[in-house]
């Protein structure tokens, strides 16, 4: 099946990114049907692959992992299925990925994810919830931290900023 090609090439790409740019890519299940990890319950700066892989649903919070497993088991016994949400974290991404017009990083990632079977939505940062904010509320404000690094106070853009 075509999924094996994605898994294999993704694993290779992950190793290359880590080796050459220190980029780390992690993904975890943050929602199964009505079982939703509370905002802020996973520290995206410190969560580890071991925490994510510690259970069958790949949720880094053991209490919520058990609730997710129970929700899946409950519908499976009735011969049904439910959906979920996967949250992806990219740490130390190299600058300058994508281009400002046709090959935007957001578009390329959305295309890759939306081509997976059963995927029905894709969002960055605040995503669909951003429709409830005004433009000025949705902006990520820049500041310089105590180490002289440029940061944003929020992550409404999902870490993707454009400078032209």
pLDDT digits (tens, 9 = 90+) for 104-136: 888 888 888 888 877 888 887 777 777 777 877
Within 13 Å of residue 51, how many CA atoms lie on the same side as its CB? 16
pTM: 0.78
pLDDT digits (tens, 9 = 90+) for 7-56: 899 899 999 999 999 999 999 999 999 999 998 899 999 999 999 999 99
What strand order describes the sheet that includes 24-32?
35-36, 24-32, 84-91
DSSP string, the chain: -THHHHHHHHHHHHHHHHHHH--EEEEEEEEETTEEPPTTSS-TTT--HHHHTTSTT--S-HHHHHHHHHHHHHHHTTT----EEEEEEEESPPTT-S-SSSS-HHHHHHHHHHTSTT------TTGGGGGGS-HHHHS--EEE-TTS-EEES--TTTT-----
Predicted local confidence at residue 164, as pLDDT? 40
pLDDT, averaged across the chain: 87
Cβ(156)–Cβ(141) below 8 Å? no
Q: Which two tokens stand for residue 87?
A: 């949250």
pLDDT digits (tens, 9 = 90+) for 75-102: 999 999 999 999 999 898 887 777 777 7
Residue 143: how many CB atoms within 10 A of its CB? 9
Quick check: 158 pLDDT over 50? yes
Quick check: 138 pLDDT over 90? no
pLDDT digits (tens, 9 = 90+) for 61-71: 999 999 999 99
Q: Give the β-pairing of 142-144 and 24-32.
A: unpaired
């Amino acid at each position: 099946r075509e999924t094996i090609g994605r898994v294999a090439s993704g694993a290779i790409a992950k190793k290359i990114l880590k080796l050459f740019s220190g980029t780390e890519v992690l993904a975890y299940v943050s929602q199964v049907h009505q079982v939703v990890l509370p905002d802020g319950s996973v520290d995206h700066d410190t969560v580890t692959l071991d925490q994510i892989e510690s259970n069958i649903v790949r949720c880094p919070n053991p209490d919520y992992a058990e609730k997710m497993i129970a929700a899946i088991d409950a519908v499976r016994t009735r011969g049904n299925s439910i959906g979920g949400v996967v949250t992806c974290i990219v740490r130390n991404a190299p600058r300058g990925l994508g281009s400002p017009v046709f090959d935007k990083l957001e578009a390329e990632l959305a295309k890759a994810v939306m081509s997976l079977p059963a995927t029905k939505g894709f969002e960055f940062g605040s995503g669909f919830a951003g429709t409830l904010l005004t433009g000025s509320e949705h902006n990520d404000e820049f500041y310089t931290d105590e180490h002289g690094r440029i940061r944003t106070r929020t992550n409404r853009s999902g870490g993707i900023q454009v400078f032209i």
